[in-house]
Amino acid sequence: MMKSRMHLMGLMAGWLLAGISLGMDVRAQSSGEKADSIAASRIFVHTGFENASPMNWRIDSAGRVVGSLVYDHERFSRNRAVNHFHFRVEAATGTEVTVILENFDNIWNNRFASDLSERSRFVISFDNQKWESRSIQVLPGGGPSGGAASPGRRMQFKFRMEAPFAYIASVEPYRISDLDKMLAKIRTNKLVGITTIGKTSEGRSLEIIRIGHENAPKRLFLRARAHAFEAGGNWTVEGLVQKLLSNDDDVKRHLKRYCVYILPMANKDGVARGKTRFNANGYDLNRKWDKPADELIAPENYYLEQWLQQMIRANKKPDLALDIHNDAGGNLHISRPDGDIADYLASMDKLESLLRKHTWFTEGATKASFRNPGTLGEGFLTRFGIYAAVYELNYEWIKGLNKAPLAADWISLGNKLPEVFYHYFE
């Protein structure tokens, strides 16, 4: 009995994983199955797993994978973003694969703006554990004006299959399951308290992790992953938590001085769905901090504000807050609202020099004219009187290490941060 072509197609991925030759597909056709006009491909792209990015894909006439990424849209504006990509290529070991990714026509403040450049990178893993960073080529065309004259808003890269599958991503992925593993590991430590402060718009729990003694003289608040693609913040938190729970002499000294509160993954819905920036309602969680957050549209910010107000009522207002992000610059963003902010600026100068002294940070702070109202940095300062900043980690290149970042580099940053905070609170 001849198996149906559909059934054969369905089995292909399994054969590939088992490393079986594709000869069977050809044999089925030659032994009498009715051929249709579209040849079966030797390459399959899998986008149906945690944090994988939604995208359409096809194999073009040259046998290249062409992936059309799906924009992440902001509500109430024309802004749209694609930075995140994460998928699995399945093909026989040894296959030479060329991938073209398109739709990097981001709209930012109602202008077309691509983040793609020759410095752009991708990461690849043949076992979903050990990743390496590789360079890409920017292709002309594909921009809003179309045609070859349009600036590069497509990328291309090539690789050889070293196993029957290859995981490809924009930055080394950190998924909700990675966070859950960390939470499970630290939950019973007597220096740790984990509080659920609310739920995301899709109902995922939002946790705040406390590390240290509640009555320590100073308090630090960190938020990571407000933007879904920016996994660097989560790796940094991993490194920080690892160090703070190492029980070594340095840490005993640190935790006498301060206690850390962390909202490790603000935009869980975006992470789950492999999106780039906004929450499930198209809300940018690093905007509109100048006003109270809407409970329905931005629950991730609303519950953080509720928690903050509760801390303030309990006389436990954070003394410093950092919102950790990824961008192509790597600066410490110091927003400068009107009013007397001399002491705030002096504190941020101190923070910057401590980061330079104790970590691989060399990029520096934003220039004296910089202001970005509505960011968590400025909102915490003006509304709650908390010294705060947005800390961007460059996801393309770490100047201080002269290399493209991988998780281990951000973990090493997190390992060094406790010493920075110790001296900041001196």
Q: Which residues bind Zn ion (CB under 5 A)?
A: 227, 230, 325
Alpha helices in 45-148, H assignment, sequence order? none
State how beta strands 154-160 and 192-199 pair.
Answer: unpaired
CB of 327 to Zn ion, least distance (A): 6
CB of 392 to Zn ion, least distance (A): 7
Residues in Cβ contact with 246 at an 8 Å cutoff, skipping those fewer than 6 apart = none
Taking the least distance from each CB to Zn ion, the nearer of 125 and 375 is 375
CB of 310 to Zn ion, least distance (A): 26
Taking the least distance from each CB to Zn ion, the nearer of 40 and 328 is 328
Give yes or no for a contact between 202 and 375, defined as CB atoms under 8 angstroms apart: no
CB of 53 to Zn ion, least distance (A): 17
Taking the least distance from each CB to Zn ion, the nearer of 133 and 375 is 375
User: Could you count the other beta carbons within 10 Å of the beta carbon of residue 97?
Assistant: 19
CB of 203 to Zn ion, least distance (A): 23
CB of 225 to Zn ion, least distance (A): 9
Q: What is the residue type of 399?
A: K
Taking the least distance from each CB to Zn ion, the nearer of 88 and 227 is 227
Taking the least distance from each CB to Zn ion, the nearer of 224 and 308 is 224
Residues in Cβ contact with 299 at an 8 Å cutoff, skipping those fewer than 6 apart = 198, 199, 200, 201, 293
Taking the least distance from each CB to Zn ion, the nearer of 80 and 227 is 227
**Residue 387: C-alpha distances to residues 150, 161, 185, 298 (Å):** 43, 49, 31, 23
State how beta strands 80-81 and 86-90 pair.
Answer: unpaired
Residue 300 CA to residue 60 CA, distance in Å, equals: 41
